C-alpha cells in the first residue's frame, strides 16, 4: 500500500507539476457550466460550439452555455462593467472568443485570467515558440493569456458565374469597381472584418511594411496610411450605395452576395465559402480568391476573464478545443471547415490520420491557392484606422 502511494507520488512528481495541477483543474471543473461568450452570427460555428459542450459534458462533466454575441466587444464591456461594480469573482463571462484589439484591451486593463495556456495538456500540439502565429495576436505577445482554437486567413469571395476576372491586387479594386459600379462593398470598419479589409489594403499599399509591426505613432500613421486614403477615395464613389452605407459585418455582406446585390464578399475563413454553399447560403458557383501578394492571417483565441465564475471549466473547454480529433473535426468542411491551429509536425500518427481523412469540396481552396500569409499589423493600427476612417467618412 505504502509502496504504491510512494510510486504514484514519484510518478506524479516526475510527470511535471502541471499534470497534477491539471487533474486538480479537472476535478474543480466537474459540474461547472461554462458561459462561453462567442460571436453567434454563424450557425455552423454555433452548432460546433454546441457539439463541444455536449462532448465536454460527457467527458468531463463540464457543460457549455453559448452566449451569442453580435460583437465580441459586448463581452468585454460586460467584464468591464462587472469590475466597475466591484464584482471581482463570480463574473458572468467564463470564456470569450477573442483576438486583436479586444484582447489587447482586456490584457492591458488586467481583465484576463492566466497565464493558463502552458498548463493545458493539449498545448503540446501547438507551436508556441516566440514569434509563432499562435504565440502572437496582432503582434501582441499572447503570454499564455489566451488559447488558440481556429486559424483565420483573410480571403475574398466572388460568384464565378457573374464575375470572371476578380481584382488581382488591392490596388486593382479601384479599376474593378469603376468598371462594375455599385457591385463592391466591405463591412463597416467598426466591425472586425471591415477593419481587416482596410488593414489588408494598408499592408499592400504602405510605403514601409515593417513600420506596421511597431505601435503606430501620429507620424508613422500619417505617413503609412496616406496612400491608403488616396486609394479609398478613388474606390469609394464606385462602391455599393456610393459607399454611404455599408453592411454591418461579413455575414450581411455574404447575404448581399447571395442576393445578387454585390459581386464580392470577404471572409476570415477560407473554408467558409464551401461551407456556405453546402448550407445553401451561397450559389454553387461561389469561389474564393486572394490578391497575388497574399493576405493577412491570424489566430482566433479563447480567453478567460479575471473574475470568471467557472475558470476551471473554461480551461477544460480551451484544452478540449486543442485536441487533435476536435481540431480535425473543426477543419472538416462538412462540420465547420475552419483551419486548424495545430502544428502538423507535432501531431502523432492518429492526429495526422484524422486530418488526412478530411473530405474536400470544389469551393475549398488548397493551401497553395491561398498564397502567403501576411502578418497582422500591430493592434494600434487597427484602432487608429477605424477611428480615422470614421472621422473621414462619417457625415
The binding site for another protein (CB under 8 A) comprises 35, 37, 40-43, 46-47, 50, 65, 67-71, 73-78, 80-87, 92-93, 101-102, 105-106, 109, 181-183, 188, 190, 240-241, 244-246, 248-252, 254-256, 258-261, 276, 279-281, 283, 390-391, 393-395
* Min separation Cβ 347 and another protein, Å: 30
Bridge partners of 122? none
For residue 382, give every residue at least 6 positions away whose Cβ sits within 8 Å of its Cβ, in sequence order, or none.
100, 101, 138, 195, 199
Closer CB to another protein, 67 or 364, in the complex: 67
Cα-flanking dihedrals φ and ψ of residue 205, to 5°? -95, -20
Is the sign of the CA dihedral 303, 213, 270, 240 positive or negative?
positive
* Min separation Cβ 335 and another protein, Å: 13
Helices (H) and strands (E) in the chain, counts: 14, 11
* Min separation Cβ 395 and another protein, Å: 5
Closer CB to another protein, 22 or 232, in the complex: 232
* Min separation Cβ 77 and another protein, Å: 5
Q: Between the CA of residue 285 and those of 71, 251, 253, 291, what are the distances in Å?
A: 30, 18, 17, 19
Closer CB to another protein, 254 or 319, in the complex: 254
Closer CB to another protein, 49 or 342, in the complex: 49
* Min separation Cβ 333 and another protein, Å: 17
Among 331, 324, 321, residue whose Cα is nearest residue 346: 324
Instruction: Measure the CA angle with vertex 238, ends 237 and 244; round to 5°.
Output: 50
Closer CB to another protein, 75 or 296, in the complex: 75
Closer CB to another protein, 109 or 217, in the complex: 109
The C-alpha atoms of residue 135 and residue 265 are separated, in whole angstroms, by 29
Closer CB to another protein, 22 or 184, in the complex: 184
For residue 105, give every residue at least 6 positions away whose Cβ sits within 8 Å of its Cβ, in sequence order, or none.
76, 111
For residue 205, give every residue at least 6 positions away whose Cβ sits within 8 Å of its Cβ, in sequence order, or none.
170, 171, 227, 228, 231
* Min separation Cβ 206 and another protein, Å: 23
Helix (H) or strand (E) run with residue 274 in it = helix 272-278
* Min separation Cβ 5 and another protein, Å: 43
Is the sign of the CA dihedral 31, 32, 38, 41 positive or negative?
positive
Closer CB to another protein, 110 or 131, in the complex: 110
* Min separation Cβ 88 and another protein, Å: 12
Amino acid at each position: 500500500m505504502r509502496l504504491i502511494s510512494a510510486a504514484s507520488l514519484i510518478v506524479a512528481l516526475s510527470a511535471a507539476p502541471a499534470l497534477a495541477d491539471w487533474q486538480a483543474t479537472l476535478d474543480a471543473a466537474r459540474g461547472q457550466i461554462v458561459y462561453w461568450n462567442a460571436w453567434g452570427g454563424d450557425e455552423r460555428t454555433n452548432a460546433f460550439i454546441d457539439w463541444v459542450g455536449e462532448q465536454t459534458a460527457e467527458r468531463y462533466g463540464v457543460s457549455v452555455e453559448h452566449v451569442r454575441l453580435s460583437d465580441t466587444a459586448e463581452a468585454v464591456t460586460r467584464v468591464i462593467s462587472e469590475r466597475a461594480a466591484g464584482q471581482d469573482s463570480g463574473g458572468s463571462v467564463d470564456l470569450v472568443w477573442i483576438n486583436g484589439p479586444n484582447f489587447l484591451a482586456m490584457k492591458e486593463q488586467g481583465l484576463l485570467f492566466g497565464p493558463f495556456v502552458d498548463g493545458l495538456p493539449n498545448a503540446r500540439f501547438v507551436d508556441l515558440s516566440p514569434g509563432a502565429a499562435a504565440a502572437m495576436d496582432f503582434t501582441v505577445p499572447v503570454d499564455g493569456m489566451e488559447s488558440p482554437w481556429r486559424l483565420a486567413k483573410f480571403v475574398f469571395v466572388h460568384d464565378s458565374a457573374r464575375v470572371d476576372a476578380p481584382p488581382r491586387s488591392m490596388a486593382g479594386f479601384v479599376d474593378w469597381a469603376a468598371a462594375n459600379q455599385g457591385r463592391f462593398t466591405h463591412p463597416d470598419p467598426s466591425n472586425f472584418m471591415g477593419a481587416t479589409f482596410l488593414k489588408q489594403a494598408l499592408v499592400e499599399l504602405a510605403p514601409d511594411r515593417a513600420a506596421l509591426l511597431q505601435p503606430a505613432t501620429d507620424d508613422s500613421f500619417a505617413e503609412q496610411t496616406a496612400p491608403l486614403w488616396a486609394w479609398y477615395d478613388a474606390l469609394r464613389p464606385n462602391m455599393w450605395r456610393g459607399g454611404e452605407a455599408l453592411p454591418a459585418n461579413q455575414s450581411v455582406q455574404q447575404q448581399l452576395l447571395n442576393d445578387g446585390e454585390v459581386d464580392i464578399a470577404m471572409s476570415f475563413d477560407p473554408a467558409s465559402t464551401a461551407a456556405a454553399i453546402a448550407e445553401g447560403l451561397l450559389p454553387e458557383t461561389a469561389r474564393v480568391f486572394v490578391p497575388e501578394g497574399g493576405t493577412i492571417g491570424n489566430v482566433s483565441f479563447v480567453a478567460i476573464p479575471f473574475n470568471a465564475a467557472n475558470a476551471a471549466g473554461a480551461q477544460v473547454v480551451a484544452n478540449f478545443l486543442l485536441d487533435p480529433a476536435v481540431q480535425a473535426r473543426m477543419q472538416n468542411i462538412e462540420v465547420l471547415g475552419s483551419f486548424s491551429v495545430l502544428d502538423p509536425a507535432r501531431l502523432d500518427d492518429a492526429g495526422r490520420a484524422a486530418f488526412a481523412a478530411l473530405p474536400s469540396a470544389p469551393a475549398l481552396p488548397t493551401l497553395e491557392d491561398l498564397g502567403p500569409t501576411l502578418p497582422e499589423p500591430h493592434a494600434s493600427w487597427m484602432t487608429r484606422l477605424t477611428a480615422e476612417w470614421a472621422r473621414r467618412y462619417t457625415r
